[in-house]
Amino acid sequence: MNTDKNWSTNLYYDIFNKEFESSNYKAEIIIKYILSTINKLERDIIISRYKDNKSYNSIGRDYSLSGSHVSKKCKNSLKELNHAKWQKLILILTEQLDLIKIDEEKLREKHKQDSDDVLKQNLKKVKPIIIEELGLSLRSYNCLKRANINTIDDLTKNNIVELEAIRNMGIKMICEIISICEKHGLSLNVNSDGK
C-alpha cells in the first residue's frame, strides 16, 4: 500500500488496478459512494486498513477476528467492488464533479466581484465626519480648528498629550472630546509619538 498518496486514491488503485486520473477530492467522493454499497463490517475494515493505515492484526483485535480472516474479508470486498458497473458510474461521477467544480469557481468569482463592487460603492458613500458635526463646545471647536484638526479622523490621530499641547485646550475640553469620540465608537491615539 502506497502511503504517500491520499487513502482514497490508494484504495481506488487496489480496487481497479489503475491510477485515478483526477483529484484526490474526487477520488474520496467516489470511493465513499462505492463503499456505501457493501456491508458495514467490510466497509469499516477497508476504511481502517486504508484511511487509518492499520494492520490486519490490529483491525482483527478491534472486531474480535483473526488477522488472516480480516485479510480475506478485505481482499474479497475489493474483488466485489472491482465490477464493470463501477467503471461507467465513475466516469459519470467524475464528469458531474468537474461540472460542480466549474460552477463553484464561477460562483466564487461572481461573489468576489459582487463583494468588490459593494465595497467600492460603500467607500464612495462614506464621507469624513467634520468636527462641526460633533456638537463640541465653541471653545473646544476653536482649539481644534486652530490646531488644523478638521475631521474626526484627524482628531483620533492625536493622543492626550498632543491635545494638551494645543493652546487654550484644558482638561475639561479633552474629557468632552474623549466622550464624543467614544459615542462614535472611536478613541484617541494611544501611542505617545502620535503615529
Per-residue pLDDT of 8-34, as tens digits, reads 778 878 877 777 666 666 677 777 877
**pLDDT tens, 135-144?**
889 999 999 9
- pLDDT value at position 2? 44
Confidence band of 3 (pLDDT split at 50, 70, 90): very low
Q: What is the DSSP string of 67-133?
A: HHHHHHHHHHHHHHH--HHHHHHHHHHHHHHHHHHHHHHHHHHHHHHHHHHHHHHHHHH--PPBGGG
b/e per residue 139-159 (b: at least 16 CB within 10 A): ebbebbeebebebbeebbebb
How far is residue 56's CA from residue 61's CA, in Å, rounded to a whole number?
A: 9
151 has which bridge partners?
Answer: 130
Q: Tell me the C-alpha to C-alpha distance, in Å, between residue 38 and each of 42, 51, 81, 86.
A: 7, 17, 8, 13
Do 141 and 173 touch, CB atoms closer than 8 A? no
- pLDDT value at position 64? 92
Which of 166, 163, 173, 179 minimizes the C-alpha distance to 139? 173
**pLDDT tens, 151-188?**
888 888 888 888 889 998 888 888 888 888 888 777 88
- pLDDT value at position 181? 82
Question: The C-alpha cell of 70 is what?
Answer: 480480516
Rg (CA), the chain: 34
What residue ranges define each of the domains in the chain, with the CATH number in brackets?
7-122 (1.20.140), 131-183 (1.10.150.20)
- pLDDT value at position 194? 47
**pLDDT tens, 101-130?**
666 777 777 777 777 666 666 655 556 788
pLDDT at 134 over 60: yes
Mean of the pLDDT values across residues 73-94?
A: 77
